[in-house]
Amino acid sequence: MAGIAVEYFLFVMISCCGVLQFVATRWKLSGISFFNRTTFGYLFAVLAVGGSFSWFFTIEDRCVPGIEGAEVFALFIAGSLASFIITASLSSVIKRKLRLSVKQHNPEEDPGLDCLRRMTYFQALARHLRKKGRG
Amino acid sequence: MQSADKTLFFWINDLAGEVSIVDRFMRLIGNDYFILAGMALVVFAMWFTGRNPEHRERNQRAVWYALIGVGFACAIVAICNAFYDRLRPFDMYPGDVELLFYRPTDPSFPSNTAATAFAFASGIWLGNRRVGYFLLLPAFLVSFARVFIGVHYPFDVLGGAIIGIAATLGALLVLRILEPFPTWVLNGMRRIYLA
């Protein structure tokens, strides 16, 4: 039982990383994208989603009793959160150069996720905390 | 009604075991994870999707309807299971059913998988018609596959679908009653760049 739970968690996490790269590329959220070229973003998304589905559904027969509905839901939430943390961290390291545009950026213009078009997640968060500390 | 359900069940289930590749395809889409995980990934993507902040907010509210709808649907299915224990087709007609799946031990009616799939589809449909219609396809597919592989009667999945849609409408109603709380949560998430 623990085996399938770990496998499902990994499957969701990798798939969600792929989905995040797809949306980052499609909606130009450079701050959470790993790549500068759109082709690489889409390619990563296809490989991550396709690869994780192929892996999860071929390593073992999934038509056997496994995890229950509530556990599946909890594992999906945990996997998707983990994928966001990984994506935000990795893209913050890769896209350090975006800091140049942070100085010119007025966060009032881009509320919420739109801010990630110009800066990485942790840059945006640090800016928010600094602003809160001052005000 | 039960007779029509039985006739329809055998009409669909008799197609199983004829073509190996079709059986394998139905086992894949009818299992507990494949379609539901795929639909959940679309719902996850919807959270980050939008041409502008207004469009994205509509999508994010749709994600809430879908998630809360799934929660309500699962609760309704659990309540139904506590009061009505319908035998699975392979238990009711042993030897006559072409079973391509393991033997689930919970009651047959209503289908939890169909309820979840239709809650996802209808929840997203409330905020984004195009994606909602697109998600109806896998919802119908998984419902058909559950009958094909021999674990549900057609009326089980029909009942599940109705519960899923009704649960999502319930989620919409609850979120409207709870306003402005959902808007505060969304604004709070937007402040930390999560929405």
B101-111, pLDDT tens digit by residue? 999 999 999 99
Whether chain A has a CB inside 8 Å of the CB on B74: the answer is yes
Angle between helices B53-83 and B154-177 (to 10 degrees): 130
**Shortest Cα–Cα distance, A125 to chain B (Å):** 6
Residue B119 has pLDDT above 70, yes or no: yes
Q: What is the pLDDT of residue A128?
A: 83
Q: What is the pLDDT of residue A127?
A: 84
Q: What is the extent of the structural domain holding B105?
A: 2-191
Q: What is the pLDDT of residue B125?
A: 98
Contact between B122 and B165 under an 8 Å Cβ cutoff? The reply is yes
Q: Which of residues 5-34 of B touch A (CB under 8 A)?
A: 27-28, 30-34
Please name the residue of chain A whose CA is at the shortest distance from the CA of residue B116. Answer: A69
User: Domain spans of chain A?
Assistant: 2-134
Number of domains in chain B: 1
Q: Give tens-digit pLDDT for B80-96.
A: 999 999 999 999 999 99
Please compute the mean of the pLDDT values over residues A48-56 and round it to a whole number: 98
**Pairwise CB contact (< 8 Å): B44 & A19:** yes
Q: What is the pLDDT of residue B60?
A: 97
**Pairwise CB contact (< 8 Å): A112 & B31:** no
A81 vs B contacts (CB less than 8 Å): none
B44 vs A contacts (CB less than 8 Å): 16, 19, 80
State chain B's mean pLDDT as an integer: 96
Q: What is the pLDDT of residue A96?
A: 82
**Shortest Cα–Cα distance, A22 to chain B (Å):** 8
CATH number for position B59: 1.20.144.10
Q: What is the pLDDT of residue A1?
A: 66
Q: Percent of chain B at pLDDT above 70?
A: 100
B49: nearest CB among A27, A53, A76: A27
**Pairwise CB contact (< 8 Å): A113 & B45:** no
Q: What is the pLDDT of residue A108?
A: 56
**Picking from B1-5, B73-77, B142-146, which range would have the lowest pLDDT averaged per residue?**
B1-5
Q: What is the pLDDT of residue A97?
A: 74
Please compute the mean of the pLDDT values over residues B113-118 and round it to a whole number: 98
Please compute the mean of the pLDDT values over residues A28-45 and round it to a whole number: 96
Q: What is the pLDDT of residue A83?
A: 98
Residue B161 has pLDDT above 60, yes or no: yes
Angle between helices B34-48 and B129-148 (to 10 degrees): 170
Q: Give tens-digit pLDDT for A73-123.
A: 999 999 999 999 999 999 999 998 776 455 555 655 667 899 999 899 999
State chain A's mean pLDDT as an integer: 90
Please compute the mean of the pLDDT values over residues B51-74 and round it to a whole number: 96
**Pairwise CB contact (< 8 Å): B193 & A125:** yes
Phi, psi of A110 (to 5 degrees): -120, 90
Please compute the mean of the pLDDT values over residues B162-183 and round it to a whole number: 97
Residue B51 has pLDDT above 80, yes or no: yes
* Predicted ipTM of the assembly: 0.92
Q: Give tens-digit pLDDT for A13-25.
A: 999 999 999 999 9
Please compute the mean of the pLDDT values over residues B62-72 and round it to a whole number: 97
Q: Per-residue DSSP letters for chain B?
A: -HHHHHHHHHHHHTTTTS-HHHHHHHHHHHSSSHHHHHHHHHHHHHHH--SSHHHHHHHHHHHHHHHHHHHHHHHHHHHHHHH--PPPHHHHSTTTS---S----S-SSSPHHHHHHHHHHHHHHHH-HHHHHHHHHHHHHHHHHHHHTTS--HHHHHHHHHHHHHHHHHHHHHHHHTTTHHHHHHHHHHHTT--
**Pairwise CB contact (< 8 Å): A63 & B101:** yes
Whether chain A has a CB inside 8 Å of the CB on B37: the answer is yes
Whether chain A has a CB inside 8 Å of the CB on B112: the answer is yes
Q: What is the pLDDT of residue A105?
A: 57
Can you give the pTM of this predicted structure?
0.94
